[in-house]
Chains A and B, each alone.
With several copies, the nearest count.
Chain A
Amino acid sequence: MNAQSEVYEHHGTESDRDRLQILDEDGNVLPGAEEPSLSDEELLAMYEALVLARRFDERAISLQRQGRIATYAPMTGQEGSQVATSYALDEDDWLFPTYRDHAAKHVHGMSLSSLLAPLRGYRDGYSIPDDVNVMPEYIPIATQIPQAMGMAWGFKLQGQTDHAVMCHFGDGATSEGDFHEGLNFAGVFDVPVVFVCNNNQWAISTPRERQTKSETLAEKAHAYGIESVRVDGLDPLAVYRATREAIRKAKRPGPNEGRPTLIESVQYRFGAHTTSDDPSVYRDGEAAEWYRKRDPVDRLAGYLDGRGLLTDERETVIEARVEKRIETAIEEAEAIEAEPDDIFEHVYAEMPERLERQRERLRDLREKYGDDAFSEVLE
């Protein structure tokens, strides 16, 4: 199988396949398409979140190049879907993100600096504030799926109808057993969960076609007796509509409706898998072209422009505000200091004696040899 040629073909076919779309590639509302009911303020806020996401991504990549953060997974091209899905959540809903869902996390309440903290090696960014319903990012692929399902199931069993759970994962994740087991449970127990498959066409170097022979990822839902929808993931309005509907159904299903939904949000990974990855080794840039013409930021801008909402002045204000927020976040993240005792904290609710003694030992060693002795493990 030749990955490149297939991908090359595949934006052609992708574009033809049935998927929910509201905006055309320039941001005009497609004939017959119905816009979601969002106020001007909401639309502008969503746009600002998109701009923030794009700038954050650019900045994070450059921070990584400077050695100020570790390996980073960019989201350019995918931020439209991230922002829109999180906008569609109610505050009480829970979000299970992956390592790539920076914007989704931020929109649902995580501070920008907390996104950077783990990239600087601190778990502060995983220590979600009490009033934010966002789980730490999941790195082992697909493992969040049964957990998100389980949390949603728990809310249902407890009669807490005010919580739905949204679970993100990639196209690659659909090949893992945990995807299968999680979706199957969701169907059997009819739980209020929304699965969002961010199909960016690549799992590192593995193209979507090599992940599975099924035509779409959405249709996999059928095997679990749950509903699915395929949406243009570069169209923030379409994503918002699809997600909002799934969230509604999860919490207040109609007569013959099931609670869970699988959303396949069809996107493209514009850039590298992570800052350690070099996509030129395994793909050429052609497929990206098609998608780049449908850039979610530009498209929403076009839409707002068409509605007369996006003046130059407003753009300038947004850019400045975004710049400032990112700057502050970096400062905050860079101010975090290492606390070696943290290694031993929270392993258990109560620290076992053996661990206490290990902590003592490390304290003694630091006293005796100084922190410099720990500054670098030899390569």
Chain B
Amino acid sequence: MSSYADTVREHVEAAGEGPGPDTGHDAVRETDADGPEALTLVEAVCDGLYSEMRRDEDVVVLGEDVGKNGGVFRATDALYEAFGEDRVIDTPLAESGIVGASIGLALSGMRPVAEIQFMGFVYPAFDQLVSHASRMRSRTGGRHGVPMVVRMPYGGGIRAPEHHSESKEAFFAHEPGLKVVTPSTPADAKGLLTAAIRDPDPVVFLEPKLIYRAFRETVPEQPYEVPLGEAAVRREGTDVSVFTWGAMTRPTLIAAEELAEEGIDCEVVDLRSLSPLDADTIVESFRKTGRGAIVHEAPKTGGLGAEIATTIQEEALLYQEAPIRRITGYDAPIPLHALEDYYLPQAARIHDALRETVEF
């Protein structure tokens, strides 16, 4: 099993020198002067924003309630105090305005990081994302890229009201020109976000809010990138490959441990980048195990699970020993919270499907 901390360390080393230690960000992270410290995922997002804003003054944060209030999940906590109202900007309540403005800000030479308060509220901005941000570079024959990040919390499990638990990453991954990433750990959150902010193209940055505060992990204070487009093998195994991302990584790893006790050895791949997909890692893992499954929260039909399974059968059919199973949300809207645990994949369901896959 490749150590996750190792990966992070590598990236930090590859990134070289950062801008040196910082003493002014106590509100965002209560820095232990000697080194990195354990952050939650949402704190790591905030830390990533902080360190990039500090490094590059073209980076601005905008959205609803991101300023004084520090974001409804505190993902922009203390940034307003640190960088002022011209770099941490509370906008009117208008998502198309926020994303459209961000495109314009990027065209003017800035690096906007827009927050959409919940994924369920991104649709008013869908046009600006899929018709404009995504294709500005190609329509201008390369003159104008749109280096911007659109962050949004996504996914269920936090007992939120209607429209607050959506998981529709597939909408964005189907649009050429956009990149889509989602972290499953605090350290990845900072590293992917840093890479996303530095990326010359628009990145949809999905934050699995179920695990915003689920656990802490050492997150280097230096800025570092986790490269976009690279999946992470979270657990090596030989019997079946499970592909997942975001908040579903944890129940998948739990199911994998349970199955280990039954003598079934699962490989768990956290995709991290949903567009572009890391097809090499996916196919390589599958070739090794010959069996596969996908776990995601989104409805099954038309979800990214289909793309992954299809890519595998295109590239590795001759290795395939069992149908690739999809353990996903159902083809129904995610219900109000009393039933959401029945809707979302959890360890028992994953466990059950993986066993079937191996026994096929």
Contacts and interface: CB of A to CB of B under 8 A. Distances in A.
Instruction: State if A and B touch, Cβ cutoff 8 Å.
Output: yes
Given A139-B164, A344-B330, A374-B341, A127 B143 contact: yes
Interface stretch (B25-33, B132-140, B263-271): B132-140
Nearest to B343: A343
Contacts of A149: 100-101, 104
Interface residues of B, number: 96
A355 B100 contact: no
Contacts of B69: 204-205, 281-282
A145 B342 CA distance: 33
A145 B121 CA distance: 16
Contacts of A36: none
Contacts of A152: 104, 108
A287 to B, nearest CB: 15
B139 to A, nearest CB: 5
Contacts of A374: 341-342, 346, 348
B336 A118 contact: yes
A150 B279 contact: no
A154 B254 CA distance: 47
A349 B201 contact: yes
A279 to B, nearest CB: 9
B301 A118 contact: no
Contacts of B99: 146
A152 B104 CA distance: 7
Interface string A355-379: 1001000100110110001111111
B273 to A, nearest CB: 10
Interface string B59-74: 0100011011110100
A344 B331 CA distance: 8
Nearest to B200: A349
B300 interface: yes
A328 interface: no
Contacts of A122: 336, 338
A120 B336 CA distance: 9
A347 B60 contact: no
Nearest to B69: A205
B5 interface: no
Contacts of B139: 123, 126, 136
B332 A355 contact: yes
Nearest to B211: A379
Interface in A132-182: 135-136, 139-141, 143, 145-155, 157-158, 160, 163, 172-173, 175-178, 180-182
A352 interface: yes
B279 A354 contact: yes
A353 B104 contact: no
B284 interface: no
Contacts of B140: 126-128, 135-136, 346
A378 B347 contact: yes
Nearest to B163: A139
A354 B94 contact: no
B contact patch SS: loop
Nearest to A355: B331
Given A140-B121, A204-B64, A348-B137, A377 B157 contact: yes
Interface string B14-41: 0000000000000000000000000000
A181 B94 contact: yes
B210 A377 contact: yes
A281 B109 contact: no
B93 A205 contact: no
A202 B96 CA distance: 20
Given A276-B72, A365-B349, A377-B251, A178 B331 contact: no
Nearest to B177: A347
B222 to A, nearest CB: 25
Interface in A228-250: none
B102 A150 contact: yes
Contacts of A340: 339, 342
B352 A369 contact: yes
Given A122-B338, A345-B142, A362-B342, A158 B333 contact: no
Contact of A369 (B127, B199, B348): B348
A10 to B, nearest CB: 16
Nearest to A364: B352
A206 B60 contact: no
A136 to B, nearest CB: 6
Contacts of B352: 365, 368-369
Nearest to B213: A379
Nearest to A72: B161
B56 to A, nearest CB: 13
Interface stretch (B46-54, B83-91, B185-193): B83-91
B343 A147 contact: no
A124 interface: yes
Contact of B335 (A3, A123, A139): A123
A205 B90 contact: yes
B10 interface: no
B332 A344 contact: yes
B184 interface: no
A154 B92 contact: no
B104 A175 contact: no
Contact of B94 (A121, A153, A175, A352): A175
Contacts of B120: 139-140
Given A121-B340, A126-B141, 14 more contacts: A3-B90, A70-B337, A118-B162, A126-B336, A150-B106, A158-B58, A160-B108, A181-B97, A188-B91, A281-B69, A336-B338, A342-B335, A365-B352, A377-B251
14 contacts: A70-B160, A71-B161, A118-B161, A121-B339, A140-B123, A143-B100, A150-B103, A154-B109, A158-B109, A172-B93, A206-B65, A347-B177, A354-B331, A358-B331
Interface of A: 1, 3, 70-71, 99, 118, 120-124, 126-128, 130, 135-136, 139-141, 143, 145-155, 157-158, 160, 163, 172-173, 175-178, 180-182, 184-185, 188, 203-206, 210-212, 276-277, 281-282, 336, 338-340, 342-349, 352-355, 358, 362, 365-366, 368-369, 373-379
